[in-house]
């Protein structure tokens, strides 16, 4: 099955020649976040959902200093056996979707990383929280803001952390562009563009099933431009407009979006113009421009290497596997109380869900929808 995961990997490997072949180093130590993995206790993680992305996370975690796979949760016994062999997971740390509440009594598991279809996140998160374990949930955290807020509330009540799998919040080029923007290198920000899309394959996959996905391209790939607009601009949007186009109503049934263009308005007057689509390939680009300069990233959110440059030249900081860095940093957030440069908590996820809810509303009504994040 050709998925977004496959597409992002191929796109980043095959990135074309970009302008500004000369380079410069705007920060003497741009990789300091990666050098900052301090010795300390290990976060013991159970992976829930052993599909393609679950496998990617697991393989990346083999290089982690502060996080380790100690358990699995799956509805497929054969997958559990494979993972047990590969990651030396004992029988007592293996669960299915019916009995995983028993992790409450398992001291070998500190956190559960939920990597299942979107519509399952809410219920699974509530159960993990009730078991007293920290939750790491793949994005989108839920299928709407109401469910997302309920997840936040449940984790807060249980006294556990809820983190969302925003791997780009720890990526070196992303953090360097954010640093340059904060330090005024681009002057007053004026405009952001985010393009997120590819041609989706298998029409029977869960990402095209509204009951499991909660939507279509917006939930899967468009959320990158939503989230990116927020951390690149450095403000929270106050309104949204959107337009939807559907060329294949058989493949993209009611409630499953094929292509949506949307615009976000920010308090300072910055406008973000973004595209989310399952119908056009090779769309993975961020562009931020201010009065004094610009930053561009293409690929901007693929698995790497990320390619980036500004009006002064290339950045292209050294590539580190995103999921390795993410899990080490999340271990320090959970165990050490570390504060990330760009938030990855449940409240961050709810903000994106509020924007997605408003985009769907604006696409239907044709009107500008106010946002209060």
Give pLDDT tens digits for 88-119. Answer: 999 999 999 999 999 999 999 999 999 999 99
| E-strand stretches of 215-304 | 239-245, 259-265, 271-277, 283-290, 294-297
Check 87, 224, 231, 303 and give the catalytic one.
224
Domain 4-26+168-317+343-370: give its CATH architecture: 2-Layer Sandwich (3.30)
Residue ranges of the chain assigned to CATH 3.40.50.720: 32-167
Q: Look at the block and give the residue holding tokens 């995961």.
A: 5
CATH superfamily label, 32-167: NAD(P)-binding Rossmann-like Domain (3.40.50.720)
Please give the backbone phi and psi of residue 119, each rounded to the nearest 5 degrees, phi first.
-70, -15
Q: Is 139 a catalytic residue?
A: yes
Q: Is 95 a catalytic residue?
A: no
Instruction: Look at residue 15 and tell me whether its pLDDT is greater than 70.
Output: no
Three-state SS at 338: coil
Check 133, 139, 307, 351 and give the catalytic one.
139
The predicted structure's pLDDT at residue 16? 43
Over residues 285-315, the pLDDT tens digits come to: 999 999 999 999 999 999 999 999 999 999 9
């Amino acid at each position: 099955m050709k998925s977004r995961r496959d597409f992002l990997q191929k796109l980043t490997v095959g990135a074309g020649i970009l302008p500004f072949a000369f380079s410069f180093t705007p920060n003497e130590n741009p990789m300091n976040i990666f050098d900052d993995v301090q010795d300390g206790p290990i976060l013991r993680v159970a992976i829930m959902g052993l599909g393609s992305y679950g496998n990617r996370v697991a393989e990346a975690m083999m290089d982690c200093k502060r996080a380790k796979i100690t358990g699995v949760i799956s509805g497929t016994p054969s997958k559990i056996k494979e993972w047990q062999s590969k990651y030396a997971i004992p029988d007592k740390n293996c669960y299915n979707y019916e009995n995983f509440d028993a992790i409450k009594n398992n001291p070998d598991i500190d956190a559960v990383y939920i990597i299942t279809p979107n519509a399952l996140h809410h219920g699974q998160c509530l159960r993990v929280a009730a078991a007293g374990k920290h939750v790491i949930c793949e994005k989108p955290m839920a299928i709407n803001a109401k469910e997302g807020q309920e997840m936040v509330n449940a984790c807060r009540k249980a006294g556990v952390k809820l983190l969302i799998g925003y791997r780009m919040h720890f990526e070196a080029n992303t953090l360097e562009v954010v640093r340059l923007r904060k330090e005024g290198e681009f002057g007053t920000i004026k405009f952001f563009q985010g393009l997120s899309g590819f041609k989706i394959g298998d029409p029977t996959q869960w990402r095209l099933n509204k009951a499991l996905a909660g939507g279509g391209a917006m939930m899967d790939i468009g959320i990158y431009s939503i989230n990116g607009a927020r951390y690149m601009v450095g403000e929270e949007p106050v309104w949204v407009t959107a337009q939807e186009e559907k060329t294949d109503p058989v493949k993209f049934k009611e409630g499953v979006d094929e292509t949506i263009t949307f615009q976000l308005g920010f308090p300072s007057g910055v406008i973000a113009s973004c595209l989310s689509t399952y119908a056009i390939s090779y769309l993975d680009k961020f562009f931020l421009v201010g009065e004094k300069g610009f930053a561009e990233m293409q690929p901007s959110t693929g698995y790497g290497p990320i390619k980036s440059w500004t009006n002064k030249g290339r950045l292209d900081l050294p590539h580190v596997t995103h999921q390795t860095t993410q899990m080490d940093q999340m271990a320090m957030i959970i165990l050490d109380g570390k504060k990330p440069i760009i938030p990855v908590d449940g409240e961050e996820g709810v903000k994106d869900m509020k924007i997605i809810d408003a985009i769907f509303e604006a696409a239907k009504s044709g009107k500008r929808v106010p946002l209060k994040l």
